[in-house]
Amino acid sequence: MKVVLQNVTKIFPSRNKKSNEEVVAVNNFDFTIPDGKLVGLLGPSGCGKSTTLYMICGLQKLSSGRIFFGEDDVTDLSPENRGVGLVFQNYALYPHMTVKQNIMFPLQNLTGKAKLTKDEMLERTLEAAKLVQIDELLDRKPSELSGGQQQRVAIARALVKMPRILLLDEPLSNLDARLRLQTREEIRRIQRETKITTIFVTHDQEEAMSISDVIVVMKLGVVQQIGAPQDVYDSPRNLFVAKFLGTPPINVFEGQINGGKVYIGKEAVMSVKDVPDQKVYIGIRPEGFIVDANGSLTCDLQSVEVMGRDSSIVSTNEASSNPTVRSIIDSDIKVDPSAKTVKFRIKPNKIFLFNKETEERIFCEVK
Ligand code: ATP
């Protein structure tokens, strides 16, 4: 089922009696989430991700705008009547109930036409437990489960009512690194199998990039960019998005365009067409550097870290906004770690130019 957010805005009144400063938590969010897709809402703390999710599920009222599930306007419906499954970061399982009782719980509250017999409830519970692969653990209490298993129970409990939309609020943040990886693949598998339109919130760009069909990058309540993860990574619309996606992060330099050349310090590293002379930010992805004795960018070599398949060259440059310049190269390419400097050529599709004032991307041909 598609989810339509039509100019959705949420303004929280000021909490401080002395000031009238309102918080615009979500500002004019306008987007149609396609049917059956996994969408990651991504951004730093406070950017409005959770508020957006809570407005979709009905826990927060909109200040203005409308929300549709398919053709149904759900803006004024209560959460119970929207048909959403919600999974919280802290699982929120009932500690005194077994896994089976936890999953079955939402079915016991169904009334009227939706009311189920005991056998039907059991069947649905087992189905959901199988889907998340915890059917062996049905008689355990939550305290007897690992964090990852508890999160699966929470997902099964959200799925058992066969929701129209599944919403996940930071579903992986309480898990350790290994379980995060495993559980995020699980979420992807479950979403593919059920084909339920799923929206999840995270501040972890790698997590969002790895499992989403579509990512929505937010900053201070405003959507910055929406697209397939790779497209957003390959073509960020502004400096914020460029910096937010990618590990190690993009390298940013202060530079300028002069006579069709892009300068970092005194070195002309690239040519551009039809761009007026101006000061710019220059972003270069770590994988965008090629070690080349005749390269046009010179950096002071700090260290070479060999990491199996790749090597990370750590260097410095006066024009760099980051303390160090990080480049990732194939470890077959040998760099003398005792050298004072290292020279690079830049891959044209890995360098982005941004207006120094607005930080918006300057879209142009770079060679
Ligand atoms: P986090 O990752 O830290 O959860 P988030 O991106 O989910 O952040 P929100 O929780 O949606 O951000 O908050 C967005 C903004 O709205 C923040 O500035 C926050 O302080 C503010 N806010 C959220 N809830 C309320 C509230 N009930 N009353 C007032 N302001 C609120």
In angstroms and rounded to an integer, the radius of gyration of the C-alpha atoms of the chain is 25
CA-nearest residue for atom 26, ligand 1, is: 12
Ligand 1 centroid to Cα of residue 14, in Å, is: 13
- CB-CB contact of 312 with 271 (8 Å): no
What sign results for the dihedral spanned by CA atoms 259, 260, 262, 266? Answer: negative
pLDDT for position 17: 67
Cβ(25) to ligand 1 under 6 A?
A: yes
Closest CA to 179 of 141, 151, 155: 151
Q: Write down the domain spans for the chain.
A: 3-242, 248-355
**Which atom of ligand 1 approaches the CA of 51 most closely?**
11
What is the rounded CA–CA span in Å between residue 290 and residue 345? 5
Could you report the per-residue pLDDT of 6-44, keeping only the tens digit for each?
999 999 987 776 667 889 999 999 999 999 999 999 999
CA-nearest residue for atom 21, ligand 1, is: 25
What sign results for the dihedral spanned by CA atoms 142, 148, 149, 154? Answer: positive
pLDDT for position 319: 97
In three-state secondary structure terms, 72 is strand
CA-nearest residue for atom 3, ligand 1, is: 45
What is the rounded CA–CA span in Å between residue 304 and residue 16? 52
The 8 Å CB, 24+ separation contacts for 179-185 are: 179/146, 179/147, 179/148, 180/207, 182/148, 183/148, 183/151, 183/152, 184/210, 184/211, 185/211
In three-state secondary structure terms, 149 is helix
One pLDDT digit (tens) per residue for the chain, 367 residues: 999 999 999 999 877 766 678 899 999 999 999 999 999 999 999 999 999 999 999 999 999 999 999 999 999 999 988 999 999 887 789 999 999 999 999 898 887 877 888 999 999 999 999 988 888 999 999 999 988 889 889 999 999 988 999 999 988 887 788 878 888 888 899 899 989 999 999 989 999 999 999 999 999 999 999 999 999 999 999 999 999 999 999 999 999 999 999 999 999 999 999 999 999 999 999 999 999 999 999 999 999 998 888 999 999 999 999 999 999 999 888 889 999 999 999 999 999 999 999 999 999 988 8
Centroid of chain to Cα 16:
32
DSSP state letter for 272: B
Cβ(13) to ligand 1 under 6 A?
A: no
Ligand 1 centroid to Cα of residue 54, in Å, is: 11
Burial 11-41 (b: 16+ CB within 10 A, else e): eeeeeeeeeeeebebbbebebebeeebbbbb
pLDDT for position 33: 94
Ligand 1 centroid to Cα of residue 322, in Å, is: 29
Q: Mutation test of ligand 1: which of 50, 62, 89, 174 has the most ligand atoms closer than 8 Å to its C-beta?
A: 50
Give me the amino acid identity at 345.
R
pLDDT for position 39: 97
Q: Residue 278: in which H helix or E strand, if any?
A: strand 278-284
**Which atom of ligand 1 approaches the CA of 10 most closely?**
16
CATH number 3.40.50.300 given to 3-242: yes
